[in-house]
């Protein structure tokens, strides 16, 4: 009997000394399911953004070559079903690309200009000319209303604040996609395929690479990012900075430019540039 008691005590003590099992992070795979395609009248569509206040999409249309100052560029307005609401909602631009929304204003890059569109009026309220810029590209806006802009050819990130444009970070080769998160900026490079984080001290840290022709970045509520490649790919970058290819339309010569993700609808929107349409995908686990 004493031996049985001793064995039981030793067993309990042994189990108590075992380290607790570590909780593992949820591992999941994302899947894209085609939902709709817009009409193919969106000429050279580069970027799409969701206006939650008005429940519509805005699409920037270069309508020509990305560096031509030809006055052909415009912004189209679409419904959440992909139907065109107003084909040329705002005109008078050259080659509009990235967009951001803050406080009723839509900010749009345009080669060496930044347009501030009054959404309610549907007109350009202000235009900021950046003489040193060559190829203004993506836009992201922080919670304080600072507008960050990538200049891909020069390799600079600019900031528009209180009506003034200045350099925020320089020497970032081929910088394209930007995403403001808290005090950080996430960025991908078109030229080098890297994904960097830029902190409040402007320290640039490499997070992952091998992203072909990086274009747009969107964050997922469950963690990680969706990153588009202009060549026609969408990559999932996990919270552990591992890359998984979700979409590849490069064989069909369909581009994937500056994407948008609507978290509450789990809807990914992909502008196809030369294919002149926006394609929507449902994102599921």
Residues in the chain with pLDDT values less than 50: 1-24
Domain that holds residue 59: 36-284
Residue 8 lies in a domain: no
Residue 224 lies in a domain: yes
Q: How far apart are CA 32 and CA 35, in angstroms?
A: 9
Q: How far apart are CA 231 and CA 273, in angstroms?
A: 10
Residue 31 lies in a domain: no
Distances (CA, A) of 42 to 23, 88, 255: 48, 9, 14
Task: Go through the chain and tell me how many residues it has.
Answer: 285
Q: How far apart are CA 23 and CA 28, in angstroms?
A: 15
* SS3 at position 263: helix
Give the count of domains, the chain: 1
Q: How far apart are CA 231 and CA 157, in angstroms?
A: 23
pLDDT tens, position by position, 76-102: 999 999 999 999 999 999 999 999 999
Residue 18 lies in a domain: no
Question: What's 21's DSSP letter?
Answer: P
Task: For the chain, count helices (H), then strands (E).
Answer: 1, 24
* SS3 at position 28: coil
Residues in CB range of 25: below 8 A, 6 or more apart? 239, 240
pLDDT at position 6 is 37
Phi, psi of 11 (to 5 degrees): -65, -45
Q: How far apart are CA 237 and CA 186, in angstroms?
A: 12
pLDDT at position 16 is 44
pLDDT at position 29 is 82
Residue 126 lies in a domain: yes
- CB of 242 closer than 8 Å to CB of 252: no
Residue 28 lies in a domain: no
Residue 244 lies in a domain: yes
Q: Is the pTM of this model over 0.95?
A: no
Per-residue b or e along 127-146, where b marks 16 or more CB atoms closer than 10 Å to that residue's CB: ebebeebebbbbbbbbeeee
Specify which residues 233 forms β-bridges with.
229, 248
CATH number at residue 69: 2.120.10.30
**Are β-strands 84-93 and 233-237 bridged in parallel, bridged antiparallel, or unpaired?**
unpaired
Provide DSSP, 1-19: -HHHHHHHHHHHHHHHHSP
Residue 231 lies in a domain: yes
């Amino acid at each position: 009997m004493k031996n049985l008691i001793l064995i039981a005590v030793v067993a309990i003590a042994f189990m108590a000394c075992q380290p607790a099992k570590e909780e593992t992070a949820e591992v999941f795979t994302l899947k894209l399911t085609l939902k709709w395609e817009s009409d193919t009248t969106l000429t050279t569509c580069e970027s799409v953004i969701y206006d939650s206040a008005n429940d519509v999409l805005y699409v920037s249309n270069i309508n020509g070559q990305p560096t031509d100052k030809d006055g052909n560029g415009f912004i189209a307005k679409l419904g959440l079903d992909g139907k065109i609401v107003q084909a040329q909602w705002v005109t008078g631009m050259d080659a509009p690309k990235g967009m951001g929304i803050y406080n009723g204003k839509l900010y749009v890059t345009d080669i060496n200009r930044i347009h501030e569109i009054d959404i309610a009026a549907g007109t350009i309220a202000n235009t900021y000319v950046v003489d040193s810029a060559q190829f203004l590209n993506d836009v992201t806006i922080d919670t304080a209303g600072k507008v960050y802009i990538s200049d891909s050819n020069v390799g600079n990130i600019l900031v528009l604040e209180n009506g003034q444009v200045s350099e925020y970070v320089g020497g970032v080769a081929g910088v394209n996609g930007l995403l403001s998160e808290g005090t950080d900026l996430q960025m991908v490079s078109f030229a080098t395929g890297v994904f960097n984080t830029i902190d409040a001290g402007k320290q640039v840290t490499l997070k992952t690479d091998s992203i072909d022709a990086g274009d747009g970045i969107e964050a997922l509520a469950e963690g990680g990012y969706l990153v588009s490649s202009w060549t026609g790919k969408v990559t999932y970058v996990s919270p552990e900075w591992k890359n998984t290819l979700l979409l590849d339309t490069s064989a069909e010569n369909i581009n994937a430019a500056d994407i948008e993700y609507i978290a509450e609808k789990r809807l990914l929107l992909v502008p196809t540039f030369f294919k002149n349409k926006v394609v929507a995908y449902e994102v599921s686990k």
